[in-house]
Amino acid sequence: MAEVSVAVLVTMDSKSEEALFVCNALIQLGVKPLLMDLSLRPHNITGADITGGDLAIISGNSWEELAKMDRNQATEVMVSAGIKTLKEKYLLGNIGGVIGLGGANGTSMACSLMRSLPPLVPKVMVSAVAATAAVQWYIAESDIVMFPSIGDFTLNRITRGVLQNAATALAAMTCAMANDTEKKQDEPLLIGVSSFGGTSGCVDVVTDGLVSEGYEVIHFHASGPGGKALESLAQKGELAGVVDITTHELTDYIVDGVYSAGENRLTAASAAGLPQVIVPGAIDHSNFWVNMVPEKYSDREFFQYNAQNILMRTNAFEYEKLGKLMAERLNQAEENFVVVIPLRGFSEHTKRNTHDLGGNILGSWDRPGDDRVFYETLKKNLIRGEVAELDLHINDPKFGSACLKYFTQLIQK
């Protein structure tokens, strides 16, 4: 069995006892710990293999200088030095996994370091805030496994059990990865496909076609983290191409909806020069939580999708913004893309009616005139690539087949 080492990320000035417990647990499991101290202030507690002072020096400061900074600035400096050090250790083969322990700030710092590592590198975070809404920001586009600490970080039979379970999980994952002899170079090319329930007809046709041609497919659910993961994997060289059927997250981005993927959506694949087919899938609505629609949108048209989500129909003004935004981002790309427009509707919701917030029917979701504002604005502002307009609905099998054909032509180049 290959020797396995893992990084342990912690602030030793507040959680040294817990850190040493995890290190001892890992040793008992046959895994060598490398303890990295992320403390922002100098202290005399021993036991770290890489101290906060070491990281401060890597950042071009001293630990004492770090202590004079405000908390946010010191955190940024420590995280930057920690990422540099952790990535170097990983690339040299010195670590095969990582575990972090922390409260709010400790979790934020440790997860920032973990997110810098490639996907599938085992990552475990034991956190006192793992059950809060902030988890989506800590994990973001990564594959971090979160363990709620249940109690705050003091050692007792409950927290010791949680820490032991987390260490055991990390050890098992890391050992399995270290002893995996599968030939990675023989794996098929991986293609990213963005998906949603309202675009599933197109997604299914494209996926089946790609698989039949020998590609491997990964779906990214267009609910925020999915779009971030797509961009991250494209940037890290994990994808060979993208069929971006569901660019819905851009709509949430411009209206501050709950499914926004942030300002980097539709950028990484372009920057990497990957072949792309882009579709305005499900941009005909944005998402809000039921009973939490902002007051400024109270007079708009909606459809309640389920007990949690209410969809707001995109209007002509927002379509114009979307056309300009998509063109702006794609204009930074290589020529290796095609935007395919389904003229008969951008999602399955064209079959529905719109409602006010009281549930009263207002009209049809199908608004070809409003939809046209998007693609006319896009064509007016796009200076690269190709735009193909098809007189089909997005979920018509013929539309999915056309997307597959365009992508095959691009990737064969």
Mean pLDDT computed over every residue of the chain: 93
285/282 Cα distance (integer angstroms):
6
SS3 sequence, 328-383? HHHCCCCCCEEEEEECCCCCHHHHCEEECCCCCEEEECCCHHHHHHHHHHHHHHCC
**Band of pLDDT at residue 1, cut at 50, 70 and 90:** very low
Q: Tell whether 89 and 227 lie within a shared domain.
A: no
The DSSP secondary-structure symbol of 246 reads B
Closest CA to 2 of 179, 133, 128: 179
Listed residues 120, 154, 178: the one ending a domain: 178
| pLDDT confidence band for 154 (50 / 70 / 90) | confident
Residues 170 and 206 in one domain: no
For 281-297, how does the pLDDT look when each residue is reduced to its tens digit (9 = 90+)?
999 999 999 999 999 99
From 258, 199, 261, select the one nearest 232 (Cα to Cα). Answer: 261
Return the sign of the alpha-carbon dihedral for residues 105, 110, 111, 113.
Answer: positive
Percent of the chain with pLDDT over 70: 98
Residues 143 and 170 sit within 8 Å (Cβ to Cβ): no
Q: Supply the angle between the helices 316-330 and 368-381 in degrees, to the nearest 10.
A: 30
Q: Tell me: do 286 and 209 sit in the same domain.
A: yes
> Within this chain, do residues 60 and 138 fall inside the same structural domain, yes or no?
yes
Map residue 48 onto helix, strand or coil.
coil
- DSSP state string for 123-143: EEEEETTTTSTTHHHHHTTS-
CATH of the domain at 342: 3.40.50.12030
Nearest residue to 109 via CA among 135, 137, 78 = 78
Interval 12-29: pLDDT, tens: 999 999 999 999 999 999
Domain finish residue from 178, 213, 244: 178
Report CA-CA distances (Å) from 152 to 101, 103, 120, 145, 220. 11, 8, 28, 18, 34
Q: Residue 194: pLDDT band by 50, 70, 90 thresholds?
A: very high
Q: Is the pLDDT at 182 greater than 80, yes or no?
A: no
How far apart CA 392 and CA 250 sit, in angstroms, is 22
The reply to whether 84 and 189 lie within a common domain is: no
Task: Measure the N-to-C terminal CA separation of the chain; round to a whole number of Å.
Answer: 43
pLDDT at residue 48 is higher than 70:
yes
Q: Helix, strand or coil for residue 295? A: helix
Are residue 146 and residue 191 in the same domain, yes or no? no
Q: What is the arithmetic mean of pLDDT over 53-61?
A: 95
Which pLDDT value is given to residue 279? Answer: 98
Residue 137: Cβ within 10 Å count: 12
Same domain, 166 and 208: no
Note the maximum CA span of the chain.
Answer: 71
Confidence of residue 183 (pLDDT cuts 50, 70, 90): very low
Range of the domain at 328: 184-412
Please indicate, yes or no, whether residues 214 and 262 belong to a single structural domain of this protein.
yes
Phi (first) and psi of residue 8, to 5 degrees:
-115, 115
| Residue 135: predicted pLDDT | 87
Q: Say whether both 144 and 282 belong to one domain.
A: no
Per-residue pLDDT tens for 290-335?
Answer: 999 999 999 999 999 999 999 999 999 999 999 999 999 999 987 7
pLDDT at 3 (0 to 100): 74
Domain count of the fold of the chain? 2
User: By the 8 A CB rule, do 254 and 322 touch?
Assistant: yes
DSSP state, residue 22: H
Same domain, 247 and 349: yes
CB atoms within 10 A of CB 412: 7
Q: How far apart are CA 114 and CA 276, in angstroms?
A: 29
Tell which of 147, 178, 209 closes a domain. Answer: 178
- Contacts for 305-312: CB closer than 8 Å, 24+ residues apart: 311/285, 311/286, 311/287, 311/349, 312/255, 312/257, 312/285, 312/286, 312/287, 312/288
pLDDT per position as a tens digit, 341-351: 999 999 999 99
**Confidence class of residue 2 from pLDDT cuts 50, 70 and 90?**
low
Mind listing the pLDDT tens digit for each residue in 345-402?
999 999 999 999 999 999 999 999 999 999 999 999 999 999 999 999 999 999 999 9
Distance (Å, whole) CA 133 – CA 292: 15
* pLDDT score recorded for residue 136: 81
- Please state, in angstroms and rounded to a whole number, the distance separating the CA atoms of residues 124 and 242: 29
Instruction: Tell me the average pLDDT across 143-155.
Output: 91
Q: Are residues 9 and 147 in the same domain?
A: yes
Q: pLDDT digit string (tens) for 79-133?
A: 999 999 999 999 999 999 999 999 999 999 999 999 999 989 999 999 999 988 8
Band of pLDDT at residue 151, cut at 50, 70 and 90: confident
Q: Any idea what the CATH number is for the domain that residue 135 is in?
A: 3.40.50.12020
Token pair of 390 as six digits: 């098809």
One-letter amino acid at 270 equals: S
Pair (36, 122) in one structural domain: yes
Say if residues 241 and 213 touch (Cβ distance below 8 Å).
Answer: no
